[in-house]
Amino acid sequence: MLTPWRKANNYIGEDYSDYYVVLFQYRDSGTLERSNFSNALEELGGENSPNVIIARSSHWAVGWVEHLLIHKEDKKHIEEAEKIIALLEDYPVLNEGHFSELEWEVLVSNIKEVMKLALEKECSDSLAKNIATWLHDNDYEDDIVDYDGHGAWPSYRSIEAALQSIGVEKLSSQLFYGEVQ
């Protein structure tokens, strides 16, 4: 069941009282929430209809918030949105393929971040993708942990194993033993 948009006591933005909330996301939303928000928006035809909108606002605690809204008079989109909500009540993922792609993108990004922090230099997309592929193909899933729903972080041990295996010995020794030549 969709809920009507309600104005918070301290909210000073635009009034959306004529809209229902389908989903929302905010700066710190996890991979699953971002995937579901994106897929729900796509299922509803995007922002191409004046009756389907994303209300964006700043928030002191979470940076920003986006609400996916449908006008209360748009029966067609309300019916579609209710189906989306019912699907989410049965299973938490709207589109497994999209969610998996987003998880992959976040893993590659996190590998690049680990490499940047450890080596103080940029890691190419190509190398990060090679490391991620190697980790997946060599059963290192237990060393890739998603602590908070914001994407998986590989262990240093798993990155070292991947670097050694794919023949990037110099980076491996720099990353783990501080040997810079």
Mark whether 64 and 112 lie in a shared domain. Answer: no
| Domain closes at, from 94, 128, 151 | 94
Mark whether 80 and 131 lie in a shared domain. Answer: no
Q: What is the pLDDT of residues 72-129, one digit of tens each?
A: 999 999 999 999 999 999 999 999 999 999 999 999 999 999 888 877 778 889 999 9
Q: What is the pLDDT of residues 158-172, one digit of tens each?
A: 888 898 898 876 666
Q: What is the CA radius of gyration of the chain?
A: 21
Domain containing 62 equals 3-94
| Domain closes at, from 49, 70, 94 | 94
Rounded to whole angstroms, how far apart are CA atoms 85 and 14?
Answer: 25
Global pTM reads 0.85
Q: Count of domains in the chain? A: 2
| Domain closes at, from 94, 118, 145 | 94
Mark whether 89 and 102 lie in a shared domain. Answer: no
Mark whether 21 and 67 lie in a shared domain. Answer: yes
* Alpha-carbon distances of 5 from 23, 71, 73, 103, 134, rounded to whole Å: 11, 10, 14, 30, 46
Mark whether 104 and 117 lie in a shared domain. Answer: yes
